[in-house]
Amino acid sequence: MIDLLAVVRAIHFASTVMVAGALLFAYCVAEPAFRTVAYAPLRVVQAFRARLSVLLLVSLAFAMASGAGWLLLLAARIGDQPLSEAIINGMAWLVLTQTRFGIDWQLRLLLAALLVAYVLLKPQTASRRHGLFASALGIAFVASLAWAGHGGATSGNAGYVHAAADVFHLSAAGAWLGGLIPLVLLLGLLRRSDEPTWAMIAYDVTRRFSNFGIIAVGTVLMSGMINTWFLVGGTANLFSTEYGKLLQLKIALFVGMVCLAAANRLHLMPLLSNVAKTVALDLKSKTVRRLERNALLELSIGLVIICVVGMLGVTPPAAEAHVHVH
């Protein structure tokens, strides 16, 4: 039977990751490319910024709606009562105001409101300072999820280490996975552009995102190892507990994403660099389409990983289950 709380968690994680990734992609990849490439077509730049704003607003709407659902479902589960009763008898209000999850939820709601205001009020020619501010909000928005999962429940000094690992893990995952949709949007706009230099811009954007992704993947890997040490407790628990089996699936999917990213960097990027300087329009378009397809496939795998994360969040950690067994 599908756990509704796991579904809502997955939706919230996905939408939050999209917000952080879109803001970081704009600040670290797209806007620097637009500034350094003097021939960036104005229509493409304007269209990309407009679509990015829509993506941000839709993602924030899903994040706020799923966040509210998460709070209410958690209150009902804590009180062991139907959802309607959890609202009427004040259990939801108690969770909101008297628990660490509720305080974190209020902070995340404030961050979401600030981000909505940024998207709606920012000028068309936003400065680097505005972009840095928005990126910082996006990182805080996704990183604050660290206190909504198992990591936030670790006590003592170890809890600080675990929470820090979760912050880095979530931020890096948001930067990589959340940046894939803006990447596909921008590559598609460039490919359909009639500007003769569009392929050079596509290569520059892809190169920047790939370099950015290497840092993100390394951070995800290192922080993930720390989280695994805290939550699994031993290699045997990977195979003997439900949590361990879900984690195995997550790791396998992560390896698949890394393989696709490596194929883009080692094969398609050099190919695009070579064909971008030629007049072979069909070959340019074909190469960029392959990059778009691979990015969409990466995104699909990443969304499956987020679904697994949603299930992991409602499953007792392997180390904890092992202790209970003994």
- pLDDT in the model for residue 163: 85
d(CA 129, CA 240): 50
Name the domain count of the chain: 1
**In this predicted model, what pLDDT tens digit does every residue of 291-311 receive, in sequence order?**
999 999 999 999 999 999 888
279 has pLDDT over 70: no
Share of the chain above pLDDT 70, in %: 90
Confidence of residue 124 (pLDDT cuts 50, 70, 90): low
User: Which pLDDT does position 52 carry in this prediction?
Assistant: 94
With bands split at pLDDT 50, 70 and 90, how would you rate the model's confidence at 323?
very low
Domain housing 126: 4-325
The pLDDT, as a whole number, for residue 209 is 93
Q: What is the mean pLDDT of residues 261-269?
A: 87
The whole-number pLDDT of residue 152 equals 58
Residue 189 has pLDDT above 70, yes or no: yes
Average pLDDT, the chain: 86
User: Quick one: tokens of 65?
Assistant: 């709606």
Q: Confidence band (pLDDT; 50, 70, 90) for 126?
A: low
Write the pLDDT tens digit of every residue in 203-242.
889 999 999 889 999 999 999 888 888 787 667 777 778 8
Confidence of residue 257 (pLDDT cuts 50, 70, 90): very high
Residue 326: per-residue pLDDT: 39
pLDDT-wise least confident of 59-73, 101-115, 285-299, 307-321 = 307-321
Residue 325 clears pLDDT 50, i.e. is over it: no
For the segment 22-40, the average pLDDT, to the nearest whole number, is: 84
